[in-house]
Every structure is written in structure tokens, then in C-alpha cells.
Structure 1
Amino acid sequence: MTVAITVALIQHGGGGGPAEVWARIETGLRQARAQGADLAVLQELHNGPYFCQWENPTEFARAEPIPGPSTERLGALAKELSLVIVGSLFERRTGGLYHNTAVVLERDGRLVGRYRKMHIPEDPGFYEKYYFTPGDLGFTPIDTSVGRLGVLVCWDQWYPEAARLMALAGADMLVYPTAIGFDPRDDEAEKARQKEAWELVQRAHAVANGLPVLAVNRCGHESDPSGTTPGIAFWGGSFVCGPQGEWLARAGDASAVLIARIDPLRTETTRQIWPFLRDRRIDAYADLQKRYRD
């Protein structure tokens, strides 16, 4: 990336039927382009509700091949709007093999890359291991007309190793489609700690790697289909920060098209004054390949 670009994060709720959700997506993309966006990022599993709140085999019907209907639809919008789009889909690779997969569509509508989520959570309300096989494509940035995108997905954002490997592979920015929220039963102090930790760890990835970070999250309450919990209150809070972790744009907890400007010279100058990559002791990091150092 050699020139400044305008980026847009499309934050919305997951309620309603497919037609309603796609209308939100399309409206958000059109608004983004109208505001000068060169790159638009959609939230994790944007085609519908966050279905991983329960374990039910009927939910596998949501999965689709890549390329497939959603990449065709996003590709047509990318071409019409001359907009690079990052989407997030439930990929059916073959019967019994599914992934949580981000896709990148170029301005001309081509599918130019995909990333399969590497870190898969299994927590109350987030039963993703039931649905998703861990990714097998590694941490490889995707080349586009707006730069090399280090695309990761949600739970990946807690792992400094993932961010570092994308940076070492030449990513110009880190991009995180996300679905994270509160358990409504938590008290306000716990909710505040969780949201602050989510922001803090990603801003730390920006600082440690001297790269901008784009994190787009869902918003609004989504019920637990099983009825056994109060569901999830997705907190929104999508943001863009610069290579020193500085805030460039922040959304609230409602639907929004968040716009920010990214200047690649900030990465260059930041890395000159904070040359963390230069000073890494790669000769001393072998233990990072262990689960735990006993």
C-alpha cells in the first residue's frame, strides 16, 4: 500500500430473514462507497444470526460453497461500486467439513482470496467447534488494489502470534470481522472489563506490529435459539486504530457505517522510530512452538 485509502466498517444486527439482512448489507456498502470508501469490511457471519449459540445440525443448512451464491452477490456489488469488500461466510467445503471463512472481493468483482479462521472457540454461547474445522490456509495476507490485507476472524484477535505472522508476511493492515458480545447476566463492571480487554488487545497488535487495525463487530441482542440462556448482547464498538494504537474511528452500539482514513506513511514512520521487527530475538523464540513450557 503506497497511497492513503478510505476504509468502511459495516456494523449491523443479525435479526430478520435473509432478504432483510442482505438489504442491510447492500445499503451499508452503498453508503460506504458514497462516502468515498475504497475498502469495506463486513462483520463475522454477516448473512444472518450468530447461530453458534447452540449445537443443532439444522444450522449446517446455512453453509455454502466458496465460490458460491454469496461470493457471486458480493462480487457483483464490488464490481458495481468499484469497492474492495471483505466478507465472512459459513463455508461448506464438502459434506461434514465446514469452515468459518473470510473472503476478499476485488474492485472488478473477482474473488481474490480467502482466510479460514484458525482459532476456534468453544465457550457457553459460542459453540463454534461444533460447526467449524480449524483453518488450514495459514496466516497469509491477501493482495488487493488497496494493499495487502492481513485478514483474521474474531477469536483470532486474542492471539498475538496470528497478528505477528501476518505482519511478518507483509500485511499492510490487520482486518478482523468479529462477533462478540456480553452475557446479559454479567454485571456492568464485568461487561466493561470485557469490552476494554477486546479493544486493548487489538490496539496492542497495532502497536507491536506498527500496523493499522480494522475491527468490525455485530451489534444488538440475539436470542439463544434453545431458550436456555438470555442470548448475547453484541456490543458493536467497531473501530479503526493506527500503528501506534491511536483511535482513528469508533462506533457505538447501534448499526453504523464507520469511515476512517489510513495513511501508509504512518506505518513507515512509526516503524522507523519503534523498530520492533528489527530487534526481535528470533534465535530465542523456539519455545513459542510448545503448548506450555514445563
Structure 2
Amino acid sequence: MATVHTIRAAVLQLAVPSNDKLNNFLASEKVIRRAVEQGCELIVLQELHAASYFCQQERVDFFDLAEPLNGETFCAYEKLAAELDVVLVISQFERRAAGLYHNTAQVIDGAKGRAGIFRKMHIPDDPGFYEKFYFTPGDADGELNGFKPIPTKLGKLGVLICWDQWYPEAARLMALAGADFLIYPTAIGWDLRDDEAEQQRQLGAWVTIQRSHAVANGVPVLVANRTGFEADPENPDLGIQFWGNSFIAGPQGELLTKASCDERGFVCADIDVRRAESVRRIWPYLRDRRVDAYQGITRRWLADQEP
């Protein structure tokens, strides 16, 4: 890492119109190759990019979309990463065992193959996002679990997934464990029944919280989101309009690049990895943390405690 000064990174933003895994891979491969032609060496794909966002409904037949860690989707991306000598962050619906499934990111470090995995820790259960039906949360610790950065030739990647992005605790723990980047594969969008003002408030909150993780921890943040409309499988008049807006921010939260709502392809930026050091010197948040006073953070709620 000491010899690397600037990294060109890309975040993909694609629509996923069907559950045809081969066609979806070929679409992603085409964009990845374009990004590599522009010098990108770290490439992040969106959440659950192998298929449509199936969590809009609770249906047991959708478990058939899951694959083991070494499934055909991983093998295809592993071969591609080796050929192009790039670091890929991919996302999958993992079948760990019968009845045990995860929302999992895998990091592939060029020809070295898999560098590590991260299993989504925070699992939502909201209208249109019924993920608790499908996904078991990642374990808090263990060799392949918890908030542990994944070492690669480009640095340590603090990979988190979508709903994890709303939690400053997750970002902080990754930073404290030495992450050089915070990375968020994401699938989030609007409920079409919400009015324009509410939709914009949600989008603004989403961008703000993730840029704040860059500020609070002094590290770059990379976010890859889906775009396009995906209809509810049981009610085609309803569904999710994924809001795109994938972006890369620097260690002061400054936007280095950002896609529009409906842009398809990728956006990329050059990241000066040395800036994190200089930013942390002038904003030494880690130095001034009162670790002796934060015991309450491990409690569910404090307002009903005795003063």
C-alpha cells in the first residue's frame, strides 16, 4: 500500500431487467471492460446484480436464485478479474446451507482470487424490501464475518452492504480496523406512491449519511446503486424505481464523481490515497474520541435508564 498513491476506481450503475444470470453477467462484463479501458483498477458492482431485486415479495421459489460462494457467478467474475488484473467487489445471494442464506459481498483480488467476503449485517424489513425473509445477518465475529476490512493489493476494503450504510457504528468499526476505503454495494429506490418531495428527502438523506461516513472517518467512500424500474412480481403497477446516484466521495466527503438517477454504465474517479493521512492530521477525530464514555452505545435504548 505504501507504494500506491492514486487509484482509479469505478462504481457500476445498471438496471437488472430479469433473472437471466448469464445476460446480467455479460452486461456487467461489458461495462467492467470499458472501465478498465479507462484505467480503473478497483471496480464495485451494485447489490445483488446477478438477478432482479426479488425481495419485493416473500416467495420461497426465489431461494432458487441463491448460489454457494464458489457458484457459477463467482467463478465467472473470478476469471474476469484475473484476466483484467483488477480488484472487483461483487454481490450475491449466498446459499450457505439448506435454510441458511446471506446477502454477501465478495472481493476478488485479480489473479489471486477471492480476498475475502462480507455478509450483510443489518437486514431491513419494509414494504418492498422484505429482506428478513431471505437473509440471515452476518455473524458479529469470526474469520469470515464481522466488521473486518478485506486486504487487497490496493489497500484494505471496508465493504458494507446497503442497509448497513445507515449505521455510523458499522462505518466507524471498519475504519478503526484499518479500512482504507468504505464500499457500499446498494439496491435502493423510491416507492412510486411517495410524492416528489418525500422522494427527494429520502435521496438527500441517503447521500448525506454516506458522505458523513467519509467525513467522520477520514476515508473515501464508494457507493454503487441500481437504476431503472423493477415491477412488483405480483403487481406490475407497483414496484421500485431505483434512484441511481452512485458516487465516490473523498475523505472530507467531497464528491469526486456522481451518476444521475437514470444513468447506466459506470462513473469513475482518481482517489489520492495519501489524502486520508493529511485529512486526519487536521481533523483528528480518532485522537479525540472519548472511548471511556461510550459504554451506552452497546445498549438498545437509554432514555428509560435511571440517571
Is the CA contact (8 Å cut-off) linking 1:78 and 1:109 kept in structure 2? no
- The residue that corresponds to 2:206 in the other structure is 198
Unaligned runs of 5+ in 1: none
2:50 to 47, 50, 61: 47
Aligned positions of 1:1-294 closer than 5 A: 1-2=1-2, 3-16=5-18, 17-136=20-139, 137-227=145-235, 230-253=238-261, 254-293=263-302, 294=304
Structure 1 CA distance for aligned equivalents of residues 149 and 290 of structure 2: 23
TM-score (norm 1): 0.98
Structure 2 CA distance for aligned equivalents of residues 89 and 277 of structure 1: 33
- 3-state SS of paired residue (2:92): strand
Q: Which moved more, 1:12-21 or 1:208-217?
A: 12-21
- Equivalenced residue count is 294
Structure 1 CA distance for aligned equivalents of residues 219 and 21 of structure 2: 35
- What RMSD in Å do the two structures reach over aligned CA positions? 1.0
1:256, CA displacement in angstroms?
2.1
> Structure 1 segments of 4 or more deviating over 4 A?
none
- 3-state SS of paired residue (2:274): helix
1:56, CA displacement in angstroms?
0.1
Percent identity (aligned):
55
- 3-state SS of paired residue (2:182): strand
Structure 1 CA distance for aligned equivalents of residues 281 and 73 of structure 2: 41
- The residue that corresponds to 2:142 in the other structure is none
Structure 2 CA distance for aligned equivalents of residues 124 and 31 of structure 1: 36
Structure 1 CA distance for aligned equivalents of residues 157 and 73 of structure 2: 20
TM-score (norm 2): 0.94
Structure 2 CA distance for aligned equivalents of residues 91 and 109 of structure 1: 21
1:109, CA displacement in angstroms?
4.9
1:28, CA displacement in angstroms?
1.1
1:228, CA displacement in angstroms?
7.4
1:20, CA displacement in angstroms?
2.2
- 3-state SS of paired residue (1:223): strand
> 1:166-205 CA distances to partner (integer Å, 9 max, x unpaired)?
0000000100000000011111111110000000000000
Structure 2 CA distance for aligned equivalents of residues 149 and 33 of structure 1: 19
